[in-house]
A = this chain, B = another copy of it.
Amino acid sequence: MLEYMTAGESHGPQLTAIVNGFPAHVPVTAQGINRDLARRQAGYGRGERMKIEQDAVEILSGVRFGKTMGSPITLVVRNRDYENWSDIMSPEPAEPDRKRVVTHPRPGHADLPGCLLYGHHDARNILERASARETAARVAAGSLCRFFLHEMGAVVFSHVISIHDAAARTEGFTLDELRIRAEESDVRCADSNAAEDMRRRIDEARGRGDTIGGVVEIVATGIPLGLGDVMTSSERLDGRLAGALMNIQAVKGVEIGMGFRAACEWGSRVHDAIHYSTGAEIHTPGRGPSGGFYHATNNAGGIEGGITNGEPLIMRIAVKPIPTMMTPKMSADLVTKEPFEASKERSDVCAVPAAGVVAEAAVCFVLADAFLRRFGGRSLPEIRARYDAAVRDMQNY
């Protein structure tokens, strides 16, 4: 139902996203999207470019008088540095400046496979698009979806679980506390002690000329029972979420609920018992409508059989260290095939908090699409009424 495309090079004039199939009458503001763009750029351990950019979205179609019209929505984030790159990135026919051609593929990047796949000998033709800069457009599109999810009572947030070996302890916190505390932390971690360790690790990595990764948890609350499907494997929501998360640069692992821990636990301790109560007490924070049925535990992470079960969605991603490093790494020239030490670039040391914001966007998109698949409709009032009816149907089930 919902579709989007992003376009734009890292040093081109702009990033563009078109979102298609978004319902009408949803209140949307550039400020709201800018908030997410700023969150993506924040974080302890980021390099200097982030400050140059100060991303801001322009809404160039699909929104009128503060509300969506139902038509495709164009979101543009300009690259403020483009004027310095207009020669190198010019669309006009020209011979590339030999000296500025990038023939050194960087380990851990798409440079090498991208160049061979596309027959490029200038890795710039790959890295301009492979760069995490592209995620600004994905964040804008996901942030747009957040406005719709807000109308559905759903909230998507992330918090950093670990950076390198500095791991948060989050047992005592409610989901709300996790969200608020992470938002206040420059490493997006709810546990302030662990956050201190994380910053120390980031400093250490910077001192070593190295980089570090980590684990982020993404949580979605207020998700009703019944998104996704079980009848066809490709319609399962867990696969859609996993695919969208793994498609983020640097993500090498995805878990839902207990994830890998479930692989070494007794079944009797994994599966969540089902209870029923009509009382208000079941409306614990974060749970979505489920007709009185609930689970005392949430090891499933809110999805069973590919369908949401009313409990909060819990996902985790493993983010590998940023590949661009001060520490040299061997590589081979694309043209001469000679070995060289991969270029030492000034760079971020740790992009884990930012990855969490990108992951939120990915999840926002998948969930908005899942809502639209479940409730259909091209206008918010209609969708909202159908949602309310579905909640009533579950209560009367």
Contacts and interface: CB of A to CB of B under 8 A. Distances in A.
Nearest to A383: B376
A30 interface: yes
A62, A116, A225, A342: residue with the most chain B Cβ atoms closer than 10 Å = A116
B59 A274 contact: no
A112 interface: yes
User: Binding site of A, secondary structure by majority: helix, strand, loop or mixed?
Assistant: mixed
- Shortest beta-carbon contacts, A-B, top 7: A110-B305, A376-B376, A243-B243, A66-B93, A267-B321, A108-B271, A239-B247
Contacts of A99: none
B374 A225 contact: no
A242 interface: yes
A112 to B, nearest CB: 6
Interface residues of A, number: 170
B254 A253 contact: yes
A3 interface: yes
Given A113-B305, A254-B253, A318-B255, A108 B378 contact: no
A359 to B, nearest CB: 12
A307 interface: yes
Contacts of A389: 382, 385-386, 389
Given A61-B12, A254-B242, A117 B165 contact: no
A20 to B, nearest CB: 6
Interface string A58-87: 011111111101111110000000000000
Contacts of A234: 247
Given A29-B93, A246-B242, A263 B253 contact: yes
Given A304-B110, A306-B247, A231 B329 contact: no
A233 interface: yes
Contacts of A90: 64-65
A148 to B, nearest CB: 15
A274 B16 contact: no
A291 B226 CA distance: 31
B116 A91 contact: no
A270 B108 contact: yes
A98 interface: no
Given A164-B263, A270-B320, 9 more contacts: A12-B60, A25-B119, A27-B93, A70-B231, A114-B305, A119-B381, A205-B267, A211-B268, A259-B318
A267 to B, nearest CB: 3
A287 interface: no
B16 A74 contact: yes
Interface string A255-294: 1111111111111101111111000000000000011110
Given A1-B373, A225-B117, A242-B254, A61 B8 contact: yes
A120 interface: yes
Contacts of A125: 24, 64, 69-71
A393 interface: yes
A9, A128, A304: residue with the most chain B Cβ atoms closer than 10 Å = A304
B205 A266 contact: yes
Contacts of A249: 305
18 contacts: A5-B5, A14-B60, A24-B125, A59-B91, A107-B271, A108-B270, A112-B304, A210-B267, A210-B268, A236-B246, A238-B251, A242-B242, A242-B245, A246-B256, A258-B320, A270-B321, A273-B330, A376-B377
